[in-house]
């Protein structure tokens, strides 16, 4: 089952609010890189730099995104996600 991408509003607008379930699920299977590893346009990323959003979890009544990178798995709140992660097209 495929979940449609939530594009009705810019998700970053309410950055201080936690993810809603629909926002979080709409990001699953997207590719992402950490902002510190962003390359200029035209350059190719190494497979070790690209993460894939693989899950959603609820911790302390807050929904978080789980990203699997080559050597680690990390979880992000909405605020952390938009501060540290950039989605790839």
Q: Which of 12-16, 17-21, 71-75, 79-83 has the lowest mean pLDDT?
A: 12-16
Tens digit of each residue's pLDDT (9 = 90 or more) over 5-30: 554 555 455 556 899 999 999 999 99
Enumerate the H helices of 1-89 as residue ranges.
21-26, 78-84
pTM of the model: 0.78
Evaluate whether residue 70 is within a structural domain. yes
Evaluate whether residue 39 is within a structural domain. yes
Evaluate whether residue 52 is within a structural domain. yes
Evaluate whether residue 6 is within a structural domain. no
pLDDT of residue 1: 46
Evaluate whether residue 20 is within a structural domain. yes
**Structural domain that includes position 59:** 16-87
Evaluate whether residue 9 is within a structural domain. no
Centre a 10 Å sphere on the Cβ of residue 65 and count the other Cβ atoms it contains. Answer: 25
Give how many domains the chain has, as a whole number. Answer: 1
Evaluate whether residue 78 is within a structural domain. yes
Evaluate whether residue 48 is within a structural domain. yes
């Amino acid at each position: 089952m495929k979940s449609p991408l939530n594009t009705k509003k810019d998700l970053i607008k309410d950055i201080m609010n936690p993810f809603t379930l629909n926002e979080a699920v709409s990001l699953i299977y997207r590719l992402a890189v950490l902002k510190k590893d962003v390359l200029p346009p035209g350059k190719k990323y190494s497979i070790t730099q690209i993460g894939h959003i693989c899950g959603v979890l609820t911790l302390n009544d807050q929904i978080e995104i789980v990203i699997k990178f080559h050597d680690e798995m990390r979880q992000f709140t909405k605020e952390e996600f938009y501060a540290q992660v950039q989605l790839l097209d």
